[in-house]
Structure 1
C-alpha cells in the first residue's frame, strides 16, 4: 500500500486552486459564492484525496475549517439593517475575506499564465548567425500535457466509484499481492500505447479493490509527471481520456 504519496504537479498547488477549480467547474459567481454548495464539494474532494492516501497538506484542512466556519455564520439569523447601515452589513459578510483572497489569487494565476505563455513564445524566436548560414530541422518539444488537472482526475475517480457503487471498495480475502507502483506504471503505459484513440480513465481501473485503485491512480499521476501520458476532457463532467505523450 502506498503511504502518504505527495502530489506535486503544476495544477495542484493548494486549497485556493481547488476552490477556483470548483468555481470554474460549477460556473459559480465568485462575488456571490454559495457557501453550502462549495463546502460540500470541497469536502468531497478532501475525503477522496484521503481515501487515495494522498498526502493532504494541513493548509487544505485549515481551508476546510474556514469554509465550515463561514457556513455556520451564514446560517445565523440575519439582522435587519437601516439603509445607512447597509454598507457596514455588506462588510460583515462572512464570505468577504475569502472572496478577496480568491480574486487576488486568480489575478496572480492569470498573470503567471500570461508570463508562461510569453516565455514559451519567446523560446520559438531564433536569431540567425550573421556568418554561418546553416539551417537544420529543429524538433519542437511537445508541451501538450492535456487540459485536465489533478482535481478533474479526482472527480472522475469519485464519479466512477459512485457509478459502480464502490463508495468503500474492500480488498477481498482472495486477491493478488499489492502491485509495485513501477509495474502498474508499465501496465498503464502499455495499455495507453496500444490504444490510438486514448483510453477511458475508468477503463484503467478494472479491479475494484482499494489497493489496486490507489496504486493505479498514483501510477497515472507519475506517468503524467514524467510526461509519458496526458489526459483530456472535452467539457467539465464529461468522460476523461488518457493518451500517450507524443515524442
Structure 2
C-alpha cells in the first residue's frame, strides 16, 4: 500500500498516466501535511502511475510537452513489463493463499519463498537490462533491487517505484486547462472547471500567490502583479467563461 501513496514535494504537483501512456491531471482533493500533499494511487491497478511535475502554474510550452512525452514513451514499455510481472506475482500469491486452506502451511510457505526468489530474480534482470531506458543510475538500480528482495509489495509495485524520483517540467494546471478545453460534454466540462477552480485556489493559498483583493478592487496597476499572478488571473477568467 505504501507504494501507492505518493508524497508530493512542496511547490510541486502530480500528473498521472496509465498503460497506454496518456498523461492526465487529477484535480481532486488531497491530503496535506507540512505543506506537502499525499496522493493515493489505485492499489489494484498496477498501471496507475504518478509523475511529479516541478511546476504548477503556467501554459504548456511545446518544448516542455515534447520532453515530458518523450520521457513517458521511452519508459512505457519497460514499465508495463514490470507491472505485468507484478500482476503475475499478485495472482500466484493469491493462489498460494487459497491453497494454504487445503494443504499444510509449511509447503505453502516454501512455495511462497520460491515464488518470491523467482520474481525477485526476474525483476533484477529486467532492471539491469532496461536501466538505461528507465533512466536509472547504477546506485538507483541497486537500491531498487535490494529493497525488493526484502519486501514483496515492492516487487508487485516496481512499475510505480521506478518513477518515484522522476521529474518533469510540465505545468500541472496548464495541463488541466488544456484537458478542459478539449472536453466537449457540457456537464463534464462544468464538473472539471469546478474542480480546477478549487484546485487553483488551494495552490494559490498554499504557495503564496494569492492576489491582494483590496488592491485589485482599487484598480492597482497590473504591473504590480507577478507573471505567475497574471497567469492565475487568465486561468480564473478561463474557468469562469
- Structure with greater strand percent: 2
TM-score, with length taken from structure 2: 0.31
* TM-score, structure 1 as length reference: 0.30
Higher relative contact order structure (alpha carbons within 8 Å, sequence separation ≥ 6)? 2
- Bigger proportion of residues as helix: 2
